[in-house]
Structure 1
Amino acid sequence: MFKPLALASLISIVLSPLSVSADADSSAAVTRVVFGSCIKQDQPAPIFSAMAAERAELLLFTGDNIYADTEDMAVMRNKYQTLSQKSGFASLIDSGTVMATWDDHDFGVNDGGADYPKRAESQKQFLDFWNIPADSPLRRRPGVYDSQTFGPEGKRLQVILLDTRYFRSPLKKGERRVGGPYYPDDDAEKTMLGDAQWRWLEEQFRQPADVRLIVSSIQFVAQDAGQECWANLPLERDRMLNLIRDTRANGVVFISGDRHWSEVSALAEKTPYPIYDITCSSLNQLHPRGTPTDNRYRVSESTYHRENYGLLAIDWQGDAPTLAFEIRDLGGQRVITKKLTLANLSN
């Protein structure tokens, strides 16, 4: 739970890192969450103003927050600086509590995983920019995975930020399909999260919560169509579903990005209850192809390919709390909606 550093702090960060901004009251129930992914730091991002206008208590940056694509940490710092200077960014991050994870481009390399040689150095740049305090556990362990729980008993929202990059094994490649060159791989030695993160995740699932938002930078539910997704490592995907079932973790909904379009997917195979994945992308880029890959799990009536962000409104009142997810366009208008009842998200 943190705020990014201001520009002046970024310039002097090596000499004097700042402490984290004052935390929001984690005992208060969260009713509005704004989220989004994929920010080209060199392009205008007018959508920041629309996001700030939602007056959400919580802001989730779900990956590709810059396009660093470098092994040069000075270049990466400069790109974070560029983001911090964008019109509307400062107002946005001041509008609510901020949590963030990364995807491949802010990790440092397109489609990258554990073989990226500068992953430790990149993690430091990420933690410095997002103003993680010096005594945070994130400063003492590999990977940027994190979690936070908000609200009182009966209205607890747990946000789990996964790191799908630092530990991820190389993906299996083959003939290029519409989405890319990747294919499912049943190699039991390969991992998405790494042993330590898997153990940590089990601990999070065993903590009390009513709603659990799992932020995965890549899609969890979507079928493989050549792109990066959990379906490329089906044993790891099954492991996640088994963990949700075995820990009796209720209220799980995934939020993902990466694809430069938005859609809603749902999985009811091998699951204790339907698992939804709200894919929201991108904040300031248009997909060059303009058409989505095949996805038999898609349940939204359409996909959306222009600039967009996500909004979650949680109604905790009454006997049947609801989660209303919306994908909104540059002007704040709804383009995709999905309403879930918390009672239907339980073991």
Structure 2
Amino acid sequence: MLKTLLLAASLLIPAAASALAADPIHSSAVTRVVFGSCIKQDQPTPIFSAMAAERAQLLLFTGDNIYADTDDMTVMRNKYQTLSDNPGFASLVDTCTVMATWDDHDFGVNDGGADYPQREASQREFLDFWNVPANSPLRQRPGIYDARIFGPEGKRLQVIMLDTRFFRSPLKKGERRVGGPYYPDADTQKTMLGDSQWRWLDEQLRRPAEVRLIVSSIQFVAQDAGQECWANLPLERERMLNLIRDTNANGVVFISGDRHWSEVSALVEKTPYPIYDITCSSLNQLHPRGTPTDNVFRVSKSTYHQENYGLLTIDWESADPTLSFEIRDIEGDSVIEQTRKLSDLRGR
């Protein structure tokens, strides 16, 4: 398997797991974070070299880390092994601390949720692949959600890895649109995260931190256009916004994947402050259609549909710290940029 690897929300470095698990607040301020999603384990992955060259302190895998799409755990295990055997992947994850969550394909079924019959077995395969210790809380509860805080007071980065699969209710279907067959559903009994994860998230957002990255495998801000997204369960999206407001959680930015293109979206109305969603996808796949779905919340001037990864740079030394998000191409060149002052992400 992998050496020296820590993954919160699922991933742990064997050599450092016991010390880091005992103290989730790491003393060094994080200034560089690399992130990405959607890896076809059987396809070439030259982008891993560009990601490793960033010399980031933290690496986030935001879902579809393999394409398992199976009820057979032997098949899933073999696909994880293919990724593990990839020299570029092994070199990349050895460069820094790593965190990850899953999306539908590494969960086990396209667009899957709580009705996937192998979700418990899939969770075991996921945790085994990432060498999560037997005594980890992730082994004791359903779902793979987790969080960690990095850095000293005044420079704290909290990373919250959501599980948008294990508990998610079935989605409402209708006539297929460009993005897919899904439509908003205001059923009060349906959930995205499940009761236990919602309670846990409330606790996490009350912890002190200056910047909070909430990783959702599917887009949080984007409008519904047939695809999987939080807008399909509008009461759950509203619950998230209310929770951010009620906990006085400043500094929240969402990171998502899934779409096989990258873009930046923002909610600016009925929010405590502008809520940005940096969508970054895919690490080694091209989107066959080449055009994005409609998204009235898109604030980036363009979308990007070739192989790409994300980079967050935090300037903690300014009186008003700066967060610079970039989508970078396979050569490491910036193709989408979004920069915000930390004061922009505070309650009005």
Distance 1:105 1:120 in 2: 15
The residue correspondences of 1:127-138 to structure 2 (distance < 5 A) are 127-138=127-138
Show structure 1 runs of 4+ deviating over 3 A. Answer: none
Q: Would you say 1:147 and 2:144 are equivalent positions?
A: no
| Other-structure match for 1:94 | 94
Unmatched runs of 5 consecutive residues or more in structure 1: 7-17
| Other-structure match for 1:66 | 66
Number of residue equivalences: 333
- From 8, 16, 29, the equivalent of 1:22 is 16
Q: Residue 147 of structure 1 aligns to which amino acid in structure 2?
A: A
Distance 1:240 1:318 in 2: 30
| Other-structure match for 1:234 | 234
The residue correspondences of 1:1-347 to structure 2 (distance < 5 A) are 5=2, 20-22=14-16, 26-347=26-347
Distance 1:64 1:318 in 2: 36
Identity rate of aligned residues, in percent?
A: 80
| Other-structure match for 1:13 | none
How far the C-alpha of 1:134 sits from its partner, in A, is 1.2
8 Å Cα contact 1:311/1:325 also seen in 2: yes
3-state DSSP of counterpart to 2:270: coil
Residues 75 and 202 of structure 1: CA distance in aligned 2, closer, same or farther (over 3 Å) = same
Q: Deviations over 1:114-154 (max 9, x none)?
A: 00000000000101111111111000000000000000000
Distance 2:15 2:29 in 1: 20
How far the C-alpha of 1:19 sits from its partner, in A, is 7.4
Q: Deviations over 1:30-68 (max 9, x none)?
A: 000000000000000000000000000000000000000
Distance 1:292 1:141 in 2: 37
Q: Residue 66 of structure 1 aligns to which amino acid in structure 2?
A: I
3-state DSSP of counterpart to 1:70: coil
Distance 2:127 2:144 in 1: 8
Distance 2:56 2:290 in 1: 30
TM-score, reference length from structure 2: 0.94
Distance 2:258 2:104 in 1: 9
8 Å Cα contact 1:19/1:133 also seen in 2: no
3-state DSSP of counterpart to 1:88: helix
How far the C-alpha of 1:268 sits from its partner, in A, is 1.0
Q: Residue 209 of structure 1 aligns to which amino acid in structure 2?
A: A
Q: Residue 189 of structure 2 aligns to which amino acid in structure 1?
A: E
Q: Residue 246 of structure 2 aligns to which amino acid in structure 1?
A: D
Q: Residue 20 of structure 1 aligns to which amino acid in structure 2?
A: P
Distance 1:167 1:21 in 2: 32
| Other-structure match for 2:8 | none
Q: Deviations over 1:147-196 (max 9, x none)?
A: 00000000000000000000000000000000000000000000000000
Distance 2:251 2:315 in 1: 14
Unmatched runs of 5 consecutive residues or more in structure 2: 4-11
3-state DSSP of counterpart to 2:121: helix
8 Å Cα contact 1:47/1:284 also seen in 2: yes
TM-score, reference length from structure 1: 0.94
Distance 2:61 2:192 in 1: 20
Distance 2:154 2:343 in 1: 13
Q: Residue 271 of structure 1 aligns to which amino acid in structure 2?
A: T
